[in-house]
Amino acid sequence: PARVMLQVRVAHVGPRHVLVLAEDRTEARRLEAIRRDFVVNVSHELKTPVGALSLLAETVGAAADDPDAVRRFAGRMQQESARLSALVHEIIELSRLQVAALSQTALVDVAAVLAEAVDRARTAATAKSITLDAGGQPGLQVYGDHALLVTAVRNLLDNAVRYSPEGTHVGVGARAVGDMVQIAVVDQGIGIRPDEQERVFERFYRVDPARSRETGGTGLGLSIVKHVAADHGGDVSIWSQPGKGSTFTLRIPAAHLPPQPERPHPEEV
């Protein structure tokens, strides 16, 4: 059972009366704890690349008369700065999503979102000989922020590529299901164990931290996806089987559905 945190205040309002105010602080406490953890995690995550960079700078200074070593260290410094820059970018993105409601809302063409996200994920996929394609129903529209939706789908595609072996296939498609548009990203990758599936949406949670860092992961991608989905009145869910692959499904309320063909009821035929 969940614990409830009550803040109780008592005031005398007369010789024979007291006023008791009880305020449920459970949610506020939970949010405070999440914020505190976030700050601790952010500092920890930032310290790693900053520490590595400063160490590398020191080493490169000491190796000034060995051009090969200088080149090697310079390469590593470039990698660490790229990681730092990705991390800062995602922290800012997530903070923005946490404080503000959607600022840019308009009718968004889902097929255009998928095409743009696929375009941006193409380089990483090609480097691993992973085929990448977008398909699905044309003409679907949602109401929201085009750029944020591209970011969300792109994060899912980047993960699909990151956690899949070479030569596999990654696909993204969209279709209308009831009043929702479902965008599914499917991979044939390493999959996620059932007991990890809920946790992967937490900030900085990684099933395998070393692997995630090595391949450029920040641990924030899926929490960004979750926020983007929520800000659009939707959600994100996961289906996965270790060793087989994963499917992440974003569900966003449809802005307008293409006209359904009028089909006579079977009994009327």
What separation, in Å, do the N-terminal and C-terminal C-alpha atoms of the chain show? 55
Is there binding between residue 218 and ligand ADP (CB under 6 A)?
yes
Decide: helix, strand or coil at residue 105: coil
Is there binding between residue 219 and ligand ADP (CB under 6 A)?
yes
Stretch that binds ligand ADP, among 56-64, 120-128, 205-213, 260-268 (CB under 6 A): 205-213
Give the one residue of 37, 119, 208, 214 binding ligand ADP; rule: CB under 6 A.
208
User: Which parts of 145-184 interact with ligand ADP (CB under 6 A)?
Assistant: 155, 159-160, 162-163
Is there binding between residue 226 and ligand ADP (CB under 6 A)?
no
- In eight-state DSSP terms, residue 104 is -
Please list, residue by residue across 149-179, b when 16 or more beta carbons sit within 10 angstroms of its beta carbon and e when fewer do: bbbbbbbbbbbbbbbbeeebebbbebebeee
Q: Which residues pair with 153 in a beta bridge?
A: none
Is there binding between residue 115 and ligand ADP (CB under 6 A)?
no
Stretch that binds ligand ADP, among 54-62, 115-123, 201-209, 250-258 (CB under 6 A): 201-209
- Do strands 106-109 and 6-14 pair parallel, antiparallel, or not at all (unpaired)? unpaired
Q: Is 117 exposed, middle or buried (0-12, 13-18, 19+ CB in 10 A)?
A: buried
CB of 197 to ligand ADP, least distance (A): 9
| Secondary structure element (H or E) that encloses residue 109, with its range | strand 106-109
Give the one residue of 151, 182, 188, 212 binding ligand ADP; rule: CB under 6 A.
212
Is there binding between residue 188 and ligand ADP (CB under 6 A)?
no
Q: Which stretches of the chain bind ligand ADP, using CB under 6 A? A: 155, 159-160, 162-163, 187, 189-192, 200, 205-208, 212, 217-223, 246
